[in-house]
Amino acid sequence: MVYVLDQASKAWALAALTNAPPQDLLGAFLRLYLVRNPGAAFSVGTGSTWLLTILAVVVLVVLIRASRRLGSMAWAWAFGLILGGALGNLTDRLIRDPGFGRGHVVDFIDYNGWFVGNVADIAIVGAALLIGLLALRGIGLDGRRDGAGGSGEADGSGEADGIPEPRGTERDG
């Protein structure tokens, strides 16, 4: 869903904002302004587009491999947000000008002149916040809470994320 929203919003931005002046939504605090970004966040690494493309592919592969260990709905949401966002920006790098692997990411949401982003960036930041919260709460990829009741289970009740254990089975711990 993140990927579809990201690509649809970028198509809209290219059609509606190309050669247009900034469009205020909340004054200068939040406005629409089209930018083609060859770098990463805050336009860092503008001369390293290929490296950013390769890094995005590595992140996607690592996340897909790690997703096999998911046992938590919250971690699944975080992975989905990151995957959708990373794939959205990677698509730009692969298909947009100036060419394959060097394409510029379409950014159009201007936050008070501090930076300009897109829907993929919002998803990635949301995922980072969710991952931070899960880490603070000690919830692992499998849904178990670190050190809870000494059993390694979410709440010591034999359940992780509210999913009861089948009778006659034990978790690895």
pTM for the structure as a whole: 0.76
Q: Can you give the three-state secondary structure of 47-86, one letter per residue?
A: CCHHHHHHHHHHHHHHHHHHHHHCCCHHHHHHHHHHHHHH
pLDDT-derived band at 133 (thresholds 50, 70, 90) equals very high
pLDDT-derived band at 148 (thresholds 50, 70, 90) equals low
Percent helix / strand / coil, the chain, rounded to 5: 50, 15, 35
3-state SS class at 30: strand
Q: What pLDDT sits at residue 39?
A: 65
Q: What pLDDT sits at residue 149?
A: 42
Q: What pLDDT sits at residue 150?
A: 40
pLDDT-derived band at 41 (thresholds 50, 70, 90) equals low
Q: What pLDDT sits at residue 51?
A: 74
For residue 6, indicate whether it is catalytic: no
Choice among 6, 92, 107, 110 that is catalytic: 107
Choice among 121, 142, 146, 161 that is catalytic: 121
**DSSP label at 107?**
E
Q: What are the domain boundaries of the chain?
A: 2-139
| Angle subtended by helix axes 119-136 and 2-17, to nearest 10 | 150
Residue 107 pLDDT > 80, yes or no? yes
C-alpha to C-alpha distance for 91 and 12, rounded to whole angstroms: 16
For residue 97, indicate whether it is catalytic: no
